[in-house]
Amino acid sequence: MNNLVTDLPIQPASDLPVELVVGACPHDCPDTCSMVTSVQNGLAIQVRGNAAHAMTGGALCTKVSRYTERTYHPDRLTTPLKRVGAKGEGRFEAVSWDAALDDIAATLTAIAADDPQAILPYSYAGTMGQVQGESMAARFFNRLGASKLDRTICSSAGGTALTHTYGAPVGMRMEAFAQSKLIIIWGSNAIASNLHFWRHVQHAKRDGARLVCIDPRRTETAEKCHEHIALLPGTDAALALALMHQLIVNDWLDHAYIAQHTLGFEQLKARALAWPPERAATVCGIEVQQIVQLAHDYAHTKPAAIRLNYGMQRTRGGGNAVRAVACLPALIGAWRDGAGGLLLSSSGFYPKQKNALERPDLRRPALGDKPSRIINMTTIGNDLNRPASAEFGPTIAAVVVYNSNPVAIAPDAGQVVKGFARDDLFTVVLEHFQTDTADYADYILPATTQLEHWDIHASYGHTDVMLNRPAIAPVDGVKSNTDIFRELATRMGFVEACFSDSDEVICKQAFLPTDIDYEALWRDGFAPLNVALAPFANGGFPTESGRCELVCERLSAIGQDPVPDYVPNYELLGSSAAFPLAMISPPARNFLNSTFVNVKSLRDIEGEPILEMDTSDAQPRGIADGDVVRVFNDRGSYHCVARISKRARPSVVNGLGVWWRKLGVRGTNVNDVTGQALTDMGRAPTFYDCLVQVELAQ
């Protein structure tokens, strides 16, 4: 905290009063912290964690405690820019807002006159705010009749799997983990990506809880657990089925809970009995004893809790894996206790008013009254390069990007770059910084940061609603996403009243008002949802049956296996002589996806793009710690720095993400080698299902 103040471009003046403004951290992270900004003389001088908000507990992560550096960064975009160089070159000239918005509106109008489905919004969770996310923007694209974006890049495999099991993305209360006696951290590097959850884990550990981490990588989190099970990527379902096998053959089951609150136990049992620990140990690349011990501990320690994060669902069988793990707590009746059960996401608890925010009723029907085209954001690489056809519809002629950096974060970057480089593609990017994606824009529009606009937030970790008040006026020259879409709407003749809703009004439209204490929310900046401490102690899952669906008939109805199974990776280790290493690309601790890569103080902590390798993989390749290496497969190659490290298990390399390409080594990043194949459920990316070869760089 101390050096934070000296790092600031803004120096506090001692004699002026300091106002404290409560807001919310906007970033894509389960913690959704309450953030207090100190404002002096109209300038934000510091952000801190709000001590009054229990989940935040007065502390922010290293990244966000430097948020003022982001807002006042010398590279912050503060004027609309029009491209003058070639696409990707990054040369722009400043233009006025009127000139930029007039030209953008005219271009979109002309494309829409042919077919509005040729226009595509591309957005994700640069801000998790309901207002600066999909409110005014969604209204605009609905009214325009643009193609719809399937927002799959992060959580839709796990989210869909959870919905097919519990009925919605719901689970344990995060704070309840403090009382657990066994905590399995499964596919999550909580210390890096869910820091405020880790505080509860430490509390439980001090009270004697046993901690087990299941992760191919020996993460900061794995190091601090009592046991680390370093399985091969994409093999979690095999492990979960073997745990079930042990629960069943030893009769460590809660028969009453199973009978009253689950569906399909007999079918699941038949499946699990085919998975003795020996079989799973071979598939997972771990010791039989680790499985036997974990099953024993899981059955005999109460309360037992599982924290999943999204890391385990980024392989072909990610949906099945999440379903398999999600079945476990019901088998031992772990849900009976608030500190038992499972948490992947709490987002399903929020009474979100999607229709009020996005206004799908305004949607202009597609030509010939067909349903609107849906483009999967994960396959943007292929789709930008696809010619018009009866099946696909028109070539994508315009992309409007906001809250996302697809050129850096989408898989198969070679194809993504090729698509964005198309000369006949009209690209608009709303951004804080000139990202890799912005380099390909025809227009870049400078957007406000969280300190400068209103918003309201759900969380996917805790269960509080968070309000973000603007702490300062927007810095000169920038506009909020909502204002940009309001002004475009006006220029395009969209006259519906909802295009004049203010941001504060939209905050009040976001959630069902009867479920939230708005007075508390406006006063404190946060307000809890009414979620029981042990939400499924007596069943009551939000499925149609009200039960935990071990067998899911909705999956059969769409031709899928209704019982969770192990689905091997597309790129199975050992299946390719040319590419003998499995690569995963989990987040670097000091970045948030590709956000913050350009904040020098944070980039300095990360150093450079790293590939962690075990000695047994490095030595035969003549690779030493610190060498620049080329990581490659059929899709492409990228350069980074090898780190010979115990964090990597043999035959798995960890390429930490997600660097801006232009700040990486030789203008590349890890997504040059990841592929566009989709998961079994949720049409999601398979970033961690990726075989590569590594060699010393030339």
Ligand X SMILES: Nc1nc2c(c(=O)[nH]1)N[C@H]1C(S)=C(S)[C@@H](COP(=O)(O)OP(=O)(O)OC[C@H]3O[C@@H](n4cnc5c(=O)[nH]c(N)nc54)[C@H](O)[C@@H]3O)O[C@H]1N2
Residues lying near Mo ion in the complex (CB under 5 A) are found at 154
Report CA dihedral (160, 164, 166, 172) to the nearest 10 degrees: -30
Does residue 160 bind ligand X (CB under 6 A)? no
Instruction: State residue 102 phi and psi, 5-degree precision.
Output: -60, -45
Does residue 29 bind ligand X (CB under 6 A)? yes
Min CB(70)–Mo ion separation in Å: 19
Question: What string of H, E and C letters represents the secondary structure of 219-247?
Answer: CHHHHCCCEEECCCCCCHHHHHHHHHHHH
Does residue 184 bind ligand X (CB under 6 A)? no
Does residue 439 bind ligand X (CB under 6 A)? no
Q: Of the listed pieces 122-130, 249-257, 514-522, 537-545, which binds ligand X according to CB under 6 A?
A: 122-130
Q: How far apart are CA 182 and CA 168, in angstroms?
A: 25
Q: How far apart are CA 145 and CA 119, in angstroms?
A: 9
Q: How far apart are CA 630 and CA 698, in angstroms?
A: 8
Q: Which is nearer to Mo ion, 154 or 471 (CB)?
A: 154
Token pair of 667 as six digits? 């203008």
Q: Write the binding mask 621 to 660 for ligand X: x where contact by CB under 6 A, - elsewhere.
A: ------------------------------------xx--
Does residue 192 bind ligand X (CB under 6 A)? yes
Q: Which of 589, 630, 635, 661 binds ligand X (CB under 6 A)?
A: 589
Alpha helices (H) along 167-230: 190-193, 195-206, 220-223
Q: How far apart are CA 581 and CA 276, in angstroms?
A: 27
Min CB(217)–ligand X separation in Å: 4
> Count of residues binding ligand X (CB under 6 A)?
59
The residues that bridge with 82 in the sheet, in sequence order, are 93, 443
Does residue 312 bind ligand X (CB under 6 A)? yes
Does residue 71 bind ligand X (CB under 6 A)? no
Min CB(171)–Mo ion separation in Å: 17
Q: Which is nearer to Mo ion, 154 or 507 (CB)?
A: 154
What b/e string do you get for 225-234 counting C-beta neighbours within 10 Å, with b at 16 or more? beebbbbbbb
Min CB(350)–ligand X separation in Å: 17
Give, as one character, the DSSP assignment of residue 217.
S
Nearest Cα to 302, choosing from 187, 189, 204? 204
Residue 233 binds: one of ligand X, Mo ion, none (C-beta under 5 to 8 A by kind):
ligand X
Min CB(117)–ligand X separation in Å: 23
Q: Which of 165, 345, 482, 674 binds ligand X (CB under 6 A)?
A: 674
Q: Of the listed pieces 120-128, 331-339, 524-532, 542-550, which binds ligand X according to CB under 6 A?
A: 120-128
Does residue 171 bind ligand X (CB under 6 A)? no
Q: Which is nearer to Mo ion, 144 or 154 (CB)?
A: 154
Cis previous bond, 586, omega within 30: no
Contact 177, 305 (CB under 8 A): yes
Does residue 39 bind ligand X (CB under 6 A)? no
Q: Which is nearer to Mo ion, 119 or 592 (CB)?
A: 592
Nearest Cα to 551, choosing from 164, 170, 75, 244? 164
Q: For residue 59, give Cα distances in angstroms to 3, 54, 654.
A: 15, 10, 29
Which chain residues interact with ligand X by CB under 6 A?
28-29, 124-127, 132, 153-155, 186-189, 192-193, 214-217, 219, 233-234, 236, 309-312, 315, 402-405, 408-409, 430-433, 435, 447, 481, 584-587, 589, 591-595, 657-658, 670-671, 674, 687-688
